[in-house]
Amino acid sequence: MDDAELLRRLCEGDERSFTELVRRYNTTLVRVARYYVNSEASAEDVVQETWMAVLRQADRFEGRSSVKTWLFRILVNRARTAGVKEHRSIPVDPTGSGDGTLANRFDQGGVWTDPPAPFTDAIESAILNERVIALVRGAIARLPEPQQAVVTLRDVEGLSTAEVAALLELSEANVRVILHRGRARVRGEVESTIKGGGS
Amino acid sequence: MRLTAHPLVCREAVELMSDYVEGALSRKDRRLLERHLADCPHCTEYLAQLRLTIAASGSAGPEDLEPEALDEIVELFRRFRDDPDQRT
């Protein structure tokens, strides 16, 4: 069932529809909130406030954006306010420095000396196996902010770069730099786990 | 932004790949990267891995919530349903 239908049923008082929306989005909401506030507990509080606001405003949703975008906007407004109260300084991804995951893997001329350990062949084409999905999921959860918020919104939730930029009040160029770093880190984690033979 | 037109080395190629996947490279950089990829199996593997991890991110689906966390939020719903005027 799509999000808009869940929201409609929620307006009629259907608990299961609300629970399903919570299941779909709570983790992402916590991750994005974490970009603005100082602690996990504080992020969870902001997310609870967000769900309260969803309950109050659900019947006023007009479908001019997707439910997802509407939900993220409610969250970001609250998270930003909470962050200001906490005097949280928003983490910046300093431009100009690398992501660190590929340090020492090139020679002085910039050619691979320690090339990527192949893993794409080991995975059945077109079918993403559960193991890679689990590795990627874990790696995203360990990304520092703002990479975690940006990678979650862009690659997990499928928002466009422009939507992510507007939501987080970043330039699109910055979103792309942050995305590049975050993706490189996630790939690096998958590679080192597979190379190390771990799970 | 790259202004030089020399052939890319691997380190530079890797820096461009996320934007390449996004379709955000200039024509010139895209061509330079594709020329490099045609001759470099390691960078080609890197790109395949990047695409794979992005695809895996998108198909991960929602993570399981801790039951207590879900219960707390569902409790909000019940309180709201029973008293929609409450503002706390």
Ordered structural domains, chain A, with CATH: 3-85 (1.10.1740.10), 100-199 (1.10.10.10)
Do residues A132 and B52 make contact, with C-beta atoms less than 8 angstroms apart? yes
| Residue B61 CB coordination number (10 Å) | 11
- Banded model confidence at residue A104, pLDDT cuts 50, 70, 90: confident
8 Å CB contact of A161 and B22: yes
DSSP lists the bridge partners of residue A106 as A112
The answer to whether the beta carbons of residues A26 and B65 sit under 8 Å apart is: yes
Q: Helices H, strands E: what count in chain B?
A: 4, 0
Residue range B17-36: mean pLDDT, rounded: 96
**Cβ contact (<8 Å) for A161 and B24?**
yes
pLDDT value for A121: 67
Is B16 part of a structural domain of the chain?
yes
Give domain status of residue B18, yes or no: yes
Q: Of A13, A154, A49, A25, nearest to B58 (Cα)?
A: A154
DSSP letters along A1-25, please? --HHHHHHHHHTT-HHHHHHHHHHH
- Evaluate whether residue B86 is within a structural domain: no
From the list B54, B62, B76, the residue facing A27 with the nearest CB is B62
Question: Would you state the pLDDT for residue B17?
Answer: 96
What ipTM was reported for this prediction?
A: 0.85
To the nearest 5 percent, what fractions of chain A are helix, strand and coil? 60, 0, 35
Domain that includes residue B20, residue range: 1-60
**A171 vs A102: which has the higher pLDDT:** A171
Listed residue (A66, A75, A95, A82) closest to A180, CA to CA: A95
- Residue B26 and residue B84: Cα distance in Å, rounded? 53
Confidence of residue A91 (pLDDT cuts 50, 70, 90): confident
Q: Kindly report the backbone phi and psi dihedral angles of residue A106, in degrees, each rounded to the nearest multiple of 5, phi listed first.
A: -120, 155
User: Using H for helix, E for strand and C for coil, what is the string for A66-123?
Assistant: CHHHHHHHHHHHHHHHHHHHCCCCCCCCCCCCCCCCCCCCECCCCCECCCCCCCCCCC
Total domain count for chain B? 1
Residue B10 covered by a domain: yes
Residue A195 has pLDDT above 90, yes or no: no
What does the pLDDT average to over B66-85? 86
In the predicted structure, residue B88 carries a pLDDT above the cut 50: no
CA A143 to CA A136: how far, in whole Å? 11
pLDDT band at residue A139 under the 50/70/90 scheme: very high
Å between B22 CA and nearest CA of chain A = 8
Q: The CATH number of the domain where B26 resides is what?
A: 1.10.10
Read off the pLDDT of each residue in A36-45 and give the average, rounded to a whole number. 93
Q: How far is CA A55 from the centre of its chain?
A: 23
Give the mean model confidence (pLDDT) for residues B79-87. Answer: 75
B73 contacts A26? CB cut-off 8 A: yes
Lowest mean pLDDT of A18-27, A64-73, A157-166, B65-74, name the range. Answer: B65-74
Mean pLDDT of chain A: 88
Nearest to B46 by CA among A119, A156, A177: A119
User: For chain A, how many residues are written?
Assistant: 199
Nearest by CB to A191, from B10, B15, B49: name it: B49
Binary contact (A155, B73; C-beta < 8 A): no
